[in-house]
Structure 1
């Protein structure tokens, strides 16, 4: 059988190089006088895979749970595995901050239970065989101090942090280094045992809404672009590309897709990031309602200290600069039928419509950004259905204002049901309307590189990424191509 296989390889090799005068020497990788144990073959393949991963970015996939609906969860979260042995932690997906942190033992104010029906856990550096504390002298800590994501205690040489969020909640703790385990996809295959060493926060104090149990989670996963973020750390190690994407489902079940990689979709349009900003700022230039540009001075949206437009998945609703809020609400009110009753509920503009009507009576809104990119909003992207009163339903503005501030924040209300690509290498953000329950194609590098196929929902090492007749055909093509590549390699190289 070995001789027949060798002869077949020679025939295929000859056909492939018939037009070339190159003479090739073919030798066996293993002795021919006995069978080769499967474990040896697997070990050789694993070594080859590790060599490839050291020099090649690959797609990292995270499961997505939760929903934008403030009456349900009001946040999207994912699951990360940390330490040795790995333990699972549920963390909020937050593009408005940089650092990944989780609750640790002896935490003051950390919730004990969660209304999200998830099991909360505490990270214990002492119980992980691969954990170590980060001293002030560590280069990563010094970089964190420069971006205000870290601080140092001269008493114990410990790298620490203190974060205060926009809702008044806060956390503080110290940094540790340990392994993160994740589902990675390389050449169409799920590699469930991938891991990398990262620095993350160990929270020993939480205040404000972080102490509440109704929607408590284990921590926050910051996807910002500063040096302490996981996306920056993995990119620096050459493990993941400097681009990530999400597609958040807007239905009651929630969930979606979150990957370190670029979701490839032909309808995506991009707008440049405002340079040298700590957040994901893009330049909003105007707002249109039913195609008519609102009379708002463009300077209102200019980026400066505490001004500008921020893309933030850690915010549930959306917020408009105070000077733009009244013109926006007035334009919406003027565009709907006069039969719709307007009411004020808790200071917010609401609309009472009959059951024979639906949200389609509200106008289309367009947020127009630099580069000619417009983010088109359906009524359900700027309104929240509150409740039913008799034979009518109440829809309230999901765009609010922060008194005395000129910041615009695009939260989950706007981000849902769309692909969003954060191309940090190209310093731009792209988006496209999309059904986030569908699979997506993901490139391991920005700029339409090699693509992988990623399905919505949590991935498992025991299931295929490809499903359905079309995708089975894709799998067969991949297997044929892989076989051809292996044959070509056998014919072109001498194995030791």
Structure 2
């Protein structure tokens, strides 16, 4: 707020949409023009006007503004921030994970970020086969509902149990009628357990850009049994954070409660120590392109139309990528480390890359993968690849987005195709290999997925709405630091709130004052 002196009296004016008109009028005072504005009260000076009378008067004056404001305030959701650790590199970590706080009092759990599944689950204190230590140098924590004052079990008669059937093989325990689940993952690992309801504690950024804490009651899994890679201690974690679309996904539960927007975004760092950004909200970037989500699918399916190498389309039947009854289509999945092509598309893809560099490299086969021996330590001589999707969106892959560096051969660098072949399933999976170093937005309300190349170690513009009217900047490098506490108040996050709607007004004001200043000088 700022004071302006009109007709010799100080009047306080709130700088909002009407501020432009006030500033334009006061410009004449600056130039000493004899313009005097007299402000008179519309109501008596005895201050006996009731608030409801003022509201009643305003409701006739600008009903649309009040109605719009009410809708915005009632549906406002905060940006929810999660720290990100890990890397896509299969020879180091091979996964990205974050921290969540569950229960009362809250305890921290490290969980893998996975858009290929729906449910959040953590290891239970009674878990059979769960690792007790981790090669990722993170503490292993076990959830015990009996030690949380806000925990409750989900019974078979609870309507939320029926939502679990969308995401898993749900069942009921004959002895206590608990709602149970079983998950099987694509790598052959699996887990089973029962559903509980408890508080999740969130780091949020609201409209005033100030960090704060929020909590909400959600349903998640308590794992009592694990198999396969989940039992190995070298990359052991406390659970998996499913970001799918089904009813028991955390994003669906929080958005239905108005706690978070029905969108989330990630930006995964590909080099160095990894990490990145994970927010419930839409990262806004001018170069973002979008493609529609295919409706009524259990995963994030999008319509891949063609693949081009060095600008030349490959001779691949588009139906190979289609989502149909007997074909899985093309899926975005940040829980998958590498990327996979349908069998019939794999060979044309690899052949085109090999042909484009055959004069400069020595192609070899290593452990069943197509590899190349090159004299340089960087793969700049390799072509760019374009994945072309419905809606005109293309994902441009640089060499490091489809190649992995292996051990050297005779002092030369060995680079191998990171895409793998899937036989007999008619499915293409785009994993962290191609998703890293780019913003990926899952706009569930708009039923679309967007992406843009980005430096994921820098700040990102995050909005709670697709209009991008109000945005918060969150510095990715500061999010993934300490594991001792996840509260935003305890970490030096760099937060900037920008109300984009006022930018044009500010520009108009600046230009107007410059013109008036010039006129004043000229008159003088």
- Which of the five TM-score ranges fits, normalised by the shorter chain? 0.7 to 0.9
Show the counterpart of 1:329: 350
Identify the residue that residue 407 of structure 1 maps to in structure 2: 427
Cα RMSD (Å): 2.6
Deviations for 1:240-293, whole angstroms, at most 9, x for unmatched residues?
Answer: 000000000011210000000000111100000011100000000000000000
Aligned to 1:94: 114
Aligned partner of 2:12 in structure 1 is 12
Alignment of 1:9-408 (within 5 A): 11-12=11-12, 22-23=42-43, 55-148=75-168, 150-304=170-324, 305-355=326-376, 358-408=378-428
- 1:447 Cα shift? 3.1
Is residue 470–residue 498 contact of structure 2 (8 Å, CA) maintained in 1?
Answer: no
> Helix, strand or coil for the counterpart of 1:361?
coil
> 1:376 offset after TM fit, Å?
0.3
The structural deviation recorded for 1:387 is 1.6
TM-score, normalised via structure 1 length: 0.84
Q: 1:201 to 1:409 in 2, by over 3 A?
A: same
Q: Is there any run of 5+ residues in structure 1 with no aligned partner, and where?
A: 1-8, 29-51, 482-496
- 1:273–1:308: structure 2 CA closer, same or farther, 3 Å change rule? same
* Worse-matched range after superposition: 285-294 or 384-393: 384-393
Match of 2:490 in 1: 462
User: Which range is displaced more, 138-147 or 216-225?
Assistant: 138-147
Aligned-partner Cα distance in 2 for 1:126–1:258: 30
In structure 2, relative to structure 1, the CA distance for the partners of 1:127 and 1:306 (3 Å cut) is: farther
Q: Any unmatched runs of 5+ in structure 2?
A: 1-8, 23-37, 49-71, 480-485, 507-524
Contact 1:362–1:379 under 8 Å retained in 2: yes
SS at match of 2:467: coil
More displaced 10-residue stretch of structure 1: 375-384 or 131-140: 131-140
Is residue 54–residue 239 contact of structure 1 (8 Å, CA) maintained in 2?
no
The 3 A distance-change label for structure 1 pair 472 and 410 is closer
- Contact conserved, 2:194 with 2:222, CA < 8 A, in 1? yes
Residue deviations 1:74-119 (CA, integer Å, cap 9, x gap): 0000000000000000000000000000001121110111000000
Runs of 4+ in 1 over 6 A off after TM superposition: 14-20, 24-28
State the partner residue of 2:518: none
Provide the C-alpha distance between the structure 1 equivalents of 2:211 and 2:153, rounded to a whole number of angstroms: 28
Equivalent pair of 1:248/1:255 in contact (CA under 8 Å): yes
Decide whether aligned partners of structure 1 residues 438 and 237 sit closer, same or farther in structure 2, where only a CA change above 3 A counts.
same
Does structure 1 conserve the Cα–Cα contact (< 8 Å) formed by 2:339 and 2:419? yes
Partners of 2:132 and 2:190 in 1: how far apart? 17
Q: Are the aligned partners of 1:188 and 1:453 in contact in 2 as well (CA < 8 Å)?
A: no
CA distance in 2, matches of 1:80, 1:286: 39
SS at match of 2:323: coil
Question: How far apart are the structure 1 equivalents of 2:226 and 2:127?
Answer: 8
> Which residue does 1:485 correspond to in 2?
none
Structure 2 counterparts to residues 439-450 of structure 1, below 5 A: 439-450=459-470
Structure ID, larger Rg: 2
Instruction: Report the CA distance between 1:454 and its aligned residue.
Output: 1.1
* SS in structure 2 at match of 1:135: coil
**CA shift at 1:295, angstroms?**
0.3
Q: Secondary structure at the match of 1:334?
A: helix
CA distance in structure 2 between the partners assigned to 1:411 and 1:392 by the alignment: 28
More contact order relative to length (CA 8 Å, sep ≥ 6): 1
- CA distance in structure 2 between the partners assigned to 1:320 and 1:428 by the alignment: 22
Conserved? CA contact 1:99–1:149, under 8 Å: no
Please give the TM-score of this superposition, normalised by the length of structure 2: 0.80
Of the structure 1 ranges 380-389 and 426-435, higher mean CA displacement relative to structure 2 is found in 380-389
Mark the CA change 1:385 to 1:240 in structure 2 (over 3 Å): closer, same or farther. same
Residues 1:418 and 1:19: Cα distance change in structure 2 (over 3 Å): farther
Secondary structure, in 3 states, of the residue corresponding to 2:264?
strand
